[in-house]
Structure 1
């Protein structure tokens, strides 16, 4: 696993845009239209849509790809649905490696759609440059239930399906909540936008807001912080996977021993994994 990880990915990779929000908020349709719009501007676009995997079978329906397939094709638009597999943070086991490969293959931008709402914002925040929180006009109760930290994670708030009643009120409520959220001086001030897949002008406005945030980020120390957070996340996910494999391979009698002995067996297995990786990596 580690031996296959690309070590020579250029420092300047694809710009990463994340979309997260509650199920049913229309993230997939919005992501598809946004990607198609930006691809028409000459960008080579990739879309990674994470679908929830069954905790029993491990399978995933991958319905996001089915919904996006209805969009008009573009030679510069690549769409891939991936199962969340064993993760519980709204992302996928091998997401960091997939993002690195898209950097290596010359994509200009990658749109990442996460599963659900909750812990997903915290995990996705480190993986993307610009994070969009997608909400519906009737999401008032959801917003009220959100922790302040989640509201502070988003760079752009998008009230989707804005042709429905209550959209403007929802946008006003979000602006009010965002205004009282604690942010350090000189940091990005989140914008609230209305969007609808049936209104191209709202997709254009959203795309311009993303460009504005990307321009701000390019001159901000925040970019270096994001790179470090991504490296930490990737290392943690690798260690978690290796530890899970090591525990699953332990013989049954080990679990009748003391916890320090069990831990020693796992650490020994991790050391063997690290040694094997060192020997197989050119």
Structure 2
């Protein structure tokens, strides 16, 4: 695989990502990079409710940050049809006009079987971006609500995008994704109600519990018609990255969360495949008991390993 001091092999990366996107759990494990590169890409997640303008915002942010990054990637997750499994991949359509740079790589992904705003084998795909020498990866999720906050563990900085006059959405999110965002963005700020939305977010943030030394998430107004607002967002990302660099133990905690998510998703997919099995003998009492025993053994082993590494 080519690192950052060589030209990006887009064809090779594209084929590798396609194989991962179509792989089952066992296949993804075989296709994953065997070693971790010395330098990992900074990961910026952009999430929010459907229609908040995430794709347009990511496009402008990518072009701005590419000015100070040698190689930047965008992974955008689109919802897959529950019937056909296909996806419209509208994010790629909206970003086509920024795909002119050789060192900017944009890839749309179908969410497939996931229901948490991400895509199957996404952790492995992010590892692949590291192996190809990306300095930074922007990850755009499917439109999410209160409970879809799996992206938190997959990125270093999480940007939550909201719309003016979506106060009911904010109220619904306040016990979930609102508590996990590093930066709040009220997008399409030229619409009525933008300042009122900022005030609503401030009220919710004021009553949220946080440690005395915790990061204080800024609240920004952005608009595609106001380039300076995109610059302010990029600066806020830089400030959060600098704060992370000076925070001890954060990366270790984040890596543990990512490992937990990967194991959880793999177990869920394995179990889902087993339940979907058409062989009725699989569901006989002895087979079901055997499966239960295997799952108990996995849980016991994982719990023991976690206790050795760091007590929960």
Query: TM-score w.r.t. structure 1 length?
Result: 0.89
1:83 to 86, 99, 110: 110
Can you list the C-alpha shifts for 1:67-111, whole angstroms capped at 9, x where unaligned?
011236222211100000001111001100110000000000101
Q: Which runs of no fewer than 5 residues in structure 1 stay unpaired?
A: 272-282
Shift of the alpha carbon at 1:118? 2.3
1:63 aligned to 2:83?
no
Query: What's the counterpart of residue 109 of structure 1?
Result: 136
1:159 to 186, 195, 200: 186
1:222 aligned to 2:277?
no
2:290 to 259, 264, 269: 264
Shift of the alpha carbon at 1:149? 3.3
Query: What's the counterpart of residue 279 of structure 1?
Result: none
Query: What's the counterpart of residue 23 of structure 1?
Result: 50
Alignment of 1:152-191 (within 5 A): 152-191=179-218
CA contact (8 A) 1:20 1:114 kept: yes
Query: What's the counterpart of residue 243 of structure 1?
Result: 271
Q: Secondary structure at the match of 1:142?
A: helix
Alpha-carbon distance in structure 2 between the residues aligned to 1:147 and 1:20: 14
CA contact (8 A) 1:29 1:68 kept: yes
Distance 1:84 1:211, change over 3 A: same
Distance 1:20 1:181, change over 3 A: same
Shift of the alpha carbon at 1:208? 0.2
Q: Secondary structure at the match of 2:108?
A: strand
1:33 aligned to 2:60?
yes
Cα root mean square deviation, aligned: 2.0
Shift of the alpha carbon at 1:155? 0.4
Query: TM-score w.r.t. structure 2 length?
Result: 0.81
1:99 aligned to 2:99?
no
Can you list the C-alpha shifts for 1:41-80, whole angstroms capped at 9, x where unaligned?
2341100000000111101000100001123622221110
Q: Secondary structure at the match of 2:176?
A: helix
Query: What's the counterpart of residue 21 of structure 2?
Result: none
Query: What's the counterpart of residue 252 of structure 1?
Result: 280
Can you list the C-alpha shifts for 1:133-179, whole angstroms capped at 9, x where unaligned?
10011211111222323211000000001111111221122122112
Distance 1:207 1:267, change over 3 A: same
Shift of the alpha carbon at 1:241? 2.3
Q: Secondary structure at the match of 2:43?
A: strand
Query: What's the counterpart of residue 234 of structure 1?
Result: 262
Query: What's the counterpart of residue 201 of structure 1?
Result: 228
2:150 to 108, 120, 123: 123
Q: Secondary structure at the match of 1:69?
A: helix
Q: Which runs of no fewer than 5 residues in structure 2 stay unpaired?
A: 1-26, 298-312
Paired residues, what number? 268
Alpha-carbon distance in structure 1 between the residues aligned to 2:133 and 2:222: 29
| More displaced 10-residue stretch of structure 1: 33-42 or 60-69 | 33-42
